[in-house]
Structure 1
């Protein structure tokens, strides 16, 4: 038998090209911080669009949730134009998992120039899923929950309805789970028809399949979703892990918790802190809006203070921005340069704007959505969406920032 020819020499392995930098655009600050941590690796959160040319992964808070629709569209377009001057970017649009904000208008602006936008707002970690093109919260269709009680507009009954004006085609769960070849083909078919795919998703594995398909199809397919899809993108890109944060070095500073949410669960979350002796300031909405509430005098601020808005008589829909601005101004005047826990994206942004803070360096996630960041001047800030967190959420955050409180919790 003739001998086989020798094998050709093995070429030195060439490492695959590094994935492009990610630019994620968020409509509020807590969502921006959540997205940064979900992407993994060294990611900055910027409060200024001018930073999009930086040579690293970046999440920009466009702060559009409170704007008029036309202004929100202008902000998205301006951010996309700014990318033309910087390095190649993989684009991601962060949206609310309950479809709040100027979703349709911003998505249409984001889709300009794209082959297609892959739309997947599911967030399995918070039990928010998409089945049959309908967002579900804890298994209940979104339009049958009270998630939109503070919104002026009626709650959408499906993703296509929420994205009215943008042609959207739902992709059923069995297709998402049918393998890469079938999912890629379906995304291409929908894009060729001039529409945008909106795949169902119930698990992180579903979102992993969606993100991987979009990456295989190339930069013409942009991603739009919640922190769940951002996490899938981060896993697909396999960014290097960041070093753990240094131990807290501000134990002497006051800790101010600013609860800028009307979520009913916030009452129980605050109760865990008052049980530890936190000073709770329940703010009347009228007094807050009129500016008659005054911060404590220097030297008189307690070690742990909680600000919240009294919603016992109901909050007027549409009043959130004015209250968040007033709450942020009050928080910024708190003596002692406190570390901050800020719930609700509008409240977080209003507070940092009042303090003149333009950038955050995310360090870690205390629990899902509760992102611990550092400011350029060394202050510690935790942001968290208002609707997130179990009953002990604020307690867990406070203990993470002030470990000495863990001793006090055992005595309660």
Structure 2
């Protein structure tokens, strides 16, 4: 008689996947990071949520510090880091602006406290923003030779060490980043042992993949600080369960769609023009009237299905006035009748609009184009956030068609009417 088969060996428990707690300084960057990480993720507008993180989900929190004094911004980062302590500890990520705006030096110094080293990599290849020799380049031009800081009170920093003044930074050239993993690991360790922080050059997503992989190999003492490009590299490096597919979008053609354009970027004018051709009503707002709260929107019956609110920038940028204008613009947008879906460009404008509406959490659903993140609020409203400096001339048009597919027919007709005659 044959002996019974041996009992099956107990299966090994599934590996515990580290979860990520990412801290952003503005809302559009937080949304970009949430999509970049992939997998199940929560996007919160409430810093207190860091303390309640569940290991089943990554968490991205908008600390909303871009406009704060440096000491207050640093305090917000320290408070979030204390709240994030858990067992097992999360992987920490600090999202920063790829153009180095905000309270970068103060926040990075706070983020570095208690770390073996902070790996600084703000390159964003998808937007043609690279780092060579420790200098951020936009479309191949050094940042300090561009107008990327036109709306800031200060001049753009000439290098990462200058931008992170007070935090010792050592750059790592591309040939080391692209060499064997052991060489990059050794460079990170050597710089950390000297009391400094590594800032590897990067031109491509593959460069950022190498940087993220090296930091993960060296353990949680090496914290990552970078743009959405490095966040995407981290997402590619981490095994993650697939995010649940969003439910099909119900027909929303009768729901108004409100664009709130809070960016000072010159390209916004052309982006808005593409919408007005489709019949969108554009309401350029005088900055003084917005700040004074004297602008009133028409009643729901008079409101078209597509409305664009923007700050009239014909008088040029107003350095230092961004937050006050964003707050007033957000408060105005919140009064728009008909409970519209929202397209919000510029991180501060996105945050102040959602604050005025009492929205504290977003569920990311997808990305319409790079940086244009489509989310849903807990009560079902659809929201697209996009950094002000992102997107080509057709950016807002692409977003409109994604949210209202019927507009694709009108767009095709417009292209046909404007097609040049054959030669």
Q: Which blocks of at least 5 consecutive residues in structure 1 are unaligned?
A: 1-10
Contact 1:44 1:59 in 2 (8 A): yes
Give the structure 1 partner of residue 420 of structure 2. Answer: none
- The answer to whether 1:324 aligns with 2:326 is yes
Match runs of 1:212-251 below 5 Å: 212-249=213-250, 250-251=252-253
**Deviation of 1:20 (Å):** 1.1
Provide, for residues 155-206 of structure 1, a one-character-per-residue CA deviation record: whole Å limited to 9, x for no partner: 1000000000000000000000011100000000000000000000000000
Match runs of 1:41-120 below 5 Å: 41-52=39-50, 53-55=52-54, 56-84=57-85, 88-120=89-121
**Deviation of 1:218 (Å):** 0.2
Match of 1:292 among 294, 297, 310: 294
Secondary structure of the residue aligned to 2:302 is coil
CA distance in 2, matches of 1:73, 1:23: 17
Match runs of 1:338-353 below 5 Å: 338-353=340-355
Contact 2:274 2:394 in 1 (8 A): yes
Residues 112 and 298 of structure 1, relative CA distance in 2, 3 Å threshold: same
Contact 2:30 2:61 in 1 (8 A): yes
Secondary structure of the residue aligned to 1:342 is strand
Secondary structure of the residue aligned to 1:84 is coil
**Deviation of 1:18 (Å):** 2.8
Provide, for residues 252-293 of structure 1, a one-character-per-residue CA deviation record: whole Å limited to 9, x for no partner: 210000100010111111111000000000111111111110
Contact 1:25 1:59 in 2 (8 A): yes
After TM superposition, the structure 1 stretch with the greater mean CA deviation from structure 2, 235-244 or 111-120, is 235-244
TM-score (ref. length: structure 2): 0.93
Give the structure 2 partner of residue 282 of structure 1. Answer: 284
Instruction: Report runs of 4+ in structure 1 exceeding 6 Å deviation.
Output: none
CA distance in 2, matches of 1:18, 1:139: 41
Q: Which blocks of at least 5 consecutive residues in structure 2 are unaligned?
A: 1-8, 415-423
TM-score (ref. length: structure 1): 0.96
Residues 87 and 350 of structure 1, relative CA distance in 2, 3 Å threshold: farther
**Deviation of 1:13 (Å):** 7.3
Contact 1:244 1:364 in 2 (8 A): no
Match runs of 1:114-133 below 5 Å: 114-133=115-134
CA distance in 1, matches of 2:22, 2:86: 16
Contact 1:325 1:347 in 2 (8 A): yes
Contact 1:54 1:86 in 2 (8 A): no
Contact 1:35 1:94 in 2 (8 A): yes
CA distance in 1, matches of 2:261, 2:108: 29
CA distance in 2, matches of 1:319, 1:357: 24
Secondary structure of the residue aligned to 2:85 is helix
Secondary structure of the residue aligned to 2:167 is coil
Give the structure 2 partner of residue 31 of structure 1. Answer: 29
The alignment of Structure 1 onto Structure 2 pairs a total of residues equal to 403
Match of 1:393 among 381, 395, 399: 395
Provide, for residues 354-391 of structure 1, a one-character-per-residue CA deviation record: whole Å limited to 9, x for no partner: 00000000000000000000000000000000000011
Give the structure 2 partner of residue 411 of structure 1. Answer: 413
**Deviation of 1:315 (Å):** 2.4
**Deviation of 1:85 (Å):** 5.2
Contact 2:17 2:239 in 1 (8 A): no
Secondary structure of the residue aligned to 1:299 is helix
After TM superposition, the structure 1 stretch with the greater mean CA deviation from structure 2, 372-381 or 78-87, is 78-87
**Deviation of 1:54 (Å):** 1.9
Give the structure 2 partner of residue 312 of structure 1. Answer: 314
After TM superposition, the structure 1 stretch with the greater mean CA deviation from structure 2, 22-31 or 50-59, is 50-59
CA distance in 2, matches of 1:336, 1:246: 23
**Deviation of 1:309 (Å):** 0.8
CA distance in 1, matches of 2:166, 2:146: 25
CA distance in 1, matches of 2:87, 2:144: 41
